Amino acid sequence: MQSEQVQQVQPRIIAVPESREGIAFENTPLNDTGTMGIVMLVFFLMAVIFRRGYKYVSDFSHHMFSVRKRQNAFEDHTMNETLMMVVMLVNTCIMVGIMLHIGINYYYPEFEMSKNVFKSVGYLSLLMGVYLSLQLLMYRVLGYVFSTDAEDTRLWIDGFNASQSMLGLLLFPIVFIGMLIPGSISFMPKVAVLMYVCARLVFVSKGFRIFFNNISSCVYFILYLCTVEIVPVFMIYKGAIYLSGTIV
C-alpha cells in the first residue's frame, strides 16, 4: 500500500523543448517613435497648409526653371506660400537626416548609431538645416555683389528654395524603401545622392542663365561651383561622419 502511494507522489518529468538563439532587435528610424513622430508632424503641417499654400507647389516648375522677371510688384509669395516653403524645406532636412543615418549606419557599423536613432537623425537633420541656411545667406550675398538687379537675386533664391523643396518630396519614397526593405540599403543612399545632384544641377543651370553675361563670367562661375556647391558638400559629409562617430 505504501509503495503505491510513493509511486503516486513521484513528480513528473516534463521535457523542455530545445530553444533557438534569439535574433537581436535593431532599432531603425521606422520603428523609432520620436523620429516617425516628427515625420508625421511635418506631413500633417504640409497637409494643413496645402489648402491655402498650394500655389507654391503648383509653381514648382516656374520657380525652378523660369528666369522671367515679374511684371508687377505684387507678384510675390503670400504668407501661406512662405509657410508651405518653410515646412517643405524642414521636410527636406529630415529626409536627408534619415538617409544620412541609414547610409552611415550601413557603411560605418562600428558607430552603433542604432542605440539612439532619434538623437542621430536629429543632429544630422540639424546639420542639413544649418547647411541650407548658410547657403541661402551665401546666395544672397553673391547676388548682391555680382548683380545690380535685385530681381535676379530673387529669381535665383526662388530656384534654390523650390529645388530643395522638391528634393525632400523625391527623397520621401527613397527613404522609406530603404527602411522597409533592408536589402536596398546598399544602393538607396546612392540613389539619394543622385537625386541631390539632379536638384542641384537644376538650380545651378538657372543661376547660369541669370548671371552669365559674357566670357569673363565663366571664371566667376567656376569659382562659385568649387567654393559654394562642391567643397561644402564634402565638408557636410565629413561633419556628418564626425557627428555620428563622436557626439551621436
Give the model's pLDDT for residue 23. Answer: 54
Q: What tens digit of pLDDT does each residue of 114-136 get?
A: 778 899 999 999 999 999 999 99
Nearest partner of 85 among 38, 50, 44, judged by Cα: 50
pLDDT band at 141 (very low <50, low <70, confident <90, very high): very high
Please report which helix (H) or strand (E) contains residue 173, including its range. Answer: helix 150-180
Kindly list the distances between the CA atom of residue 128 and the CA atoms of 51, 109, 122, in Å, as whole numbers in the listed order.
27, 22, 10
pTM of the model as a whole: 0.84
Mean pLDDT of 35-42: 91
Nearest partner of 137 among 228, 24, 76, judged by Cα: 228
